[in-house]
Amino acid sequence: MKRQLPFLLVFIFGAFMTIQYYIPHESSEFVYTFLLDWTMIIGIFALALGIWSLYQVSVEKIKHKKENWVYSYVTLFGLFIMVVLGFTFKVGDSWGLYSVFVIALMAFLYCLINASIAKSKGLWFGLSGVALVVLLGIAYFDDSWGVAFMTSEGLRNTMFTNFADFVMTPILATMFALLAFFIASAAYRAFRARNVLASLLLVSAIIVMLRFNPYMPFGLPELIAELSNWLMNVPNLAAQRAIVIGIGLGIVATSLKVILGIERGYMGKG
Partner 1 sequence: MTEHKNIFDKMMTLDRRWVFLFLIIVCVATYVVDFEIPINTEPEVESIFNFLDSLPENDIVLIAIDYDPNNLAELHPMTYAVVEHLWRKKVKIIFTSLSQLGPAMADQAIRDISDSLKVDKTYNYNGVEHNFKGREIVNGVDYTFLGFKPYYALIILGMGQDFRLNFPSDYYGTPLDDLPMMQGVINYDQVACVVDLSGGNITDAWISYGQGRFNFPLMLGLTGVMVSQYYPFLGSGQVSGIMGGLLGAAQYEELADNPGRAKDGMRVQLYAHYVIILFIILGNIGYFMTRRNRLKGGN
Partner 2 sequence: MEFSDFLWMTCGIFLTLATFSFLYKDNPFYKFAEHLVVGVSAGFTIIVLWHGTLVPNLFQKLEDGNWFMLWLNSSEWWYVVPAVLGLLMWTRFSKKYSWVSRWPMGLYIGISTGIAIPLEMSNRVNKQLYAMMVEIDWANFFGGNILSTTSGFAQLLIFLGTIAGLVYFFFSKEHKGVFGGVATFGIWILMIGFGASFGYTVMARVSLFINRMQDTKAWGVEAFNASDVANPHYSSMYPIVFYLLVAFVVGYIIKEIMDHLKRKNA
Which residues between 83 and 102 bind partner 2 (CB under 8 A)?
A: 83, 85-87
The answer to the question of residue 30 lying near partner 2 (CB under 8 A) is no
SS3 261: coil
Residue closer to partner 2 (CB basis): 120 or 229: 229
Site map for partner 2, 41-80, x if CB under 8 A? Answer: xxxxxxxxxxxx-x---x---------x--xx-xxxxxxx
**Binding to partner 2 in span 107-146, by CB under 8 A:** none
Using rule CB under 8 A, residue 147 touches partner 2: no
Element (H, E) at 88: strand 88-90
Q: Are 76 and 113 in contact (CB under 8 A)?
A: yes
CB-based contact 131:111 (threshold 8 Å):
yes
Residue length of the chain: 270
Contacts of 90 (CB under 8 A, 6+ apart): 98, 144, 145, 157, 158
CB contact at 8 A, 127 and 137: no
Q: Residue 193 touches which of partner 2, partner 1, none (CB < 5 to 8 A by kind)?
A: partner 1
| Binding residue (CB under 8 A) for partner 2 from 24, 126, 129, 246 | 246
Span near partner 1 by CB under 8 A; candidates 2-10, 63-71, 104-112, 204-212: 204-212
- CA-nearest of 204, 202, 196 to 234 is 204
One residue of 94, 116, 213, 254 binding partner 1 per CB under 8 A: 213
Pick from partner 1, partner 2, none: which does 105 bind, CB < 5 to 8 A by kind? none
- Give the CA distances from residue 214 to residues 207, 230, 249, in Å, rounded to whole numbers and listed in that order: 13, 18, 42
Nearer to partner 1, 64 or 189 (CB): 189
Alpha helix stretches (DSSP H) within the chain: 4-22, 26-63, 70-86, 98-117, 121-141, 158-163, 169-189, 196-209, 220-233, 235-259
Q: Provide the mask over 14-53, with x wherever binding to partner 1 is found by CB under 8 A and - wherever it is not.
A: -------------------x--xx-xx--xx--x------
Shortest spacing between CB 122 and partner 2, in angstroms: 28
Interaction between residue 177 and partner 1 (CB under 8 A) = yes
Q: Which of 17, 135, 8 is nearest to 84 (CA)?
A: 135
Is 223 one of the binding residues for partner 1 (CB under 8 A)? Answer: no
**Binding to partner 2 by residue 16, rule CB under 8 A?**
yes
Mark the segment that binds partner 1 (CB under 8 A) among 95-103, 119-127, 128-136, 175-183. Answer: 175-183
Binds partner 2 by CB under 8 A, chosen from 133, 193, 216, 243: 243
What is the rounded CA–CA span in Å between residue 20 and residue 14?
10
